[in-house]
Amino acid sequence: MSLTHSYAAQSATSPLTPWTFERRAVGPNDVSIKIHYCGVCHSDIHTARGEWSGTKYPIVPGHEIVGTVTAVGAAVKNWKVGDTVGVGCIVDSCRECASCKEDQEQFCENGMTGTYNGIERGTGHTTQGGYSQHIVVDENYVLRIPAGMPLDRTAPLLCAGITTYSPLRKYGVKAGMKVAIVGLGGLGHMGVKIAKAMGAHVTVVSHSDKKRDDAKRLGADDFLNTGEAGAFRANAKRFDFILDTVSAEHDYNSYLMMVKRGGTMVVVGIPPASPLNPSMLVMQQRCLAGSLIGGIAETQEMLDFCAEHQVFSDIEVIPASMINEAYERMLKSDVRYRFVIDSATLG
């Protein structure tokens, strides 16, 4: 067992405050990782504030972790002390069900163990995430960070990167396709960069005009402000593929209107509830789908893709003590484009 300093929410209504807790002892198949950076995902806010049911308090959020291996268990095969590694949203799964066998551990039929607010296999303890100094993880759920990647700008790839890469890859986004990314936040800005790296024509769909210049700077070909009257109707049936990353309640029907006949909209944002009219699907044979992060193998594939294409997150590095302020700014869509905690500030 080893102590780690962290920031935790003690209840759904309390701000995050310093908290010290014990990590499990390093087991034979475990690696211990000193955390250098941890990105701040909107799912951290939904969970800390109890917006999705089932948050167990105290909770230490954070599932965009980059660090260095400091200890390995006796049976560890793939890692050694000093390796630069990442941990995303999954720290364990059953390894036996159909989903696990298909490298889709996020859908483990016996329950994927989330990096935080999960149930640790063996102990039954609640898992605690990356707003902390170190973490102990089974070696099979650790990712290799390719050499030369800037660690702070790479941390957000562990959730925002894989969550956008996975559906863009699955639905075959490529040159010649008109793609819209809805919501230019942490996920959205990674979606823009990855879809561009895949060769698509990319339009950012944002709910104000504030990010117009940034969208171009991030590589988007076009920008659409849905705050303008008639914006949805004027762009009806324009896109082959839409990726919706919006974190707040919004009208899916309006966005579906912009999907071409036979095209697809994939939702990755998880607002509490949002309306849907079936005729928006029926009348133009549109597809509406969801997507959840990605498996471990695909997360490694994404990291290698981002290294090859030099795709990294645009970030604002913060001390851990600024986490509550960061949450408030994210709720106002004022993040350019991912907050990343410098873990050295937890000491």
Helix, strand or coil, per DSSP, at residue 339: strand
| Contact window for Zn ion (CB under 5 A) among 48-56, 110-118, 133-141, 316-324 | 110-118
How far is Cα 227 from Cα 207, in angstroms, rounded to an integer? 5
Do 30 and 76 meet the contact criterion of CB atoms below 8 Å apart? yes
Number of CB atoms found within 10 A of residue 178's CB: 18
Q: How far is the CB of 109 from Zn ion (least distance, A)?
A: 5
How far is Cα 315 from Cα 143, in angstroms, rounded to an integer? 21
Near ligand NAP in 139-178, by CB under 6 A: 159, 163
Task: Note whether 253 binds ligand NAP by CB under 6 A.
Answer: no
Task: Note whether 46 binds ligand NAP by CB under 6 A.
Answer: yes
What are the Cα distances from residue 186, in Å, to 149, 309, 326?
18, 19, 12
Q: What would the x/- binding string for ligand NAP be over residues 172 to 211, using CB under 6 A?
A: -----------xxxxxx-----------------xxx--x
From the list Zn ion, ligand NAP, none, partner contacted by residue 2 (C-beta under 5 to 8 A by kind)? none
Near Zn ion in 71-100, by CB under 5 A: 93-94, 97, 100
User: CB-wise, 140 or 226, nearer to Zn ion?
Assistant: 140
Cα angle at 266 between 187 and 183, to 5 degrees?
35
User: CB-wise, 188 or 263, nearer to Zn ion?
Assistant: 188
From the list ligand NAP, Zn ion, none, partner contacted by residue 97 (C-beta under 5 to 8 A by kind)? Zn ion
How far is Cα 41 from Cα 64, in angstroms, rounded to an integer? 8
Q: How far is the CB of 302 from ligand NAP (least distance, A)?
A: 13
User: Hey, what amino acid is at 169?
Assistant: R
Considering CB under 6 A, how many residues would be counted as binding ligand NAP? Answer: 31
- Six-digit token string for 214: 């940034």
Do 202 and 220 meet the contact criterion of CB atoms below 8 Å apart? yes
Do 163 and 268 meet the contact criterion of CB atoms below 8 Å apart? yes
Residues interacting with Zn ion, by CB under 5 A? 41, 43, 93-94, 97, 100, 108, 110, 159
Write out the residues near ligand NAP by the rule CB under 6 A.
41-43, 46, 159, 163, 183-188, 206-208, 211, 245-248, 250, 268-271, 291-293, 330, 333, 335
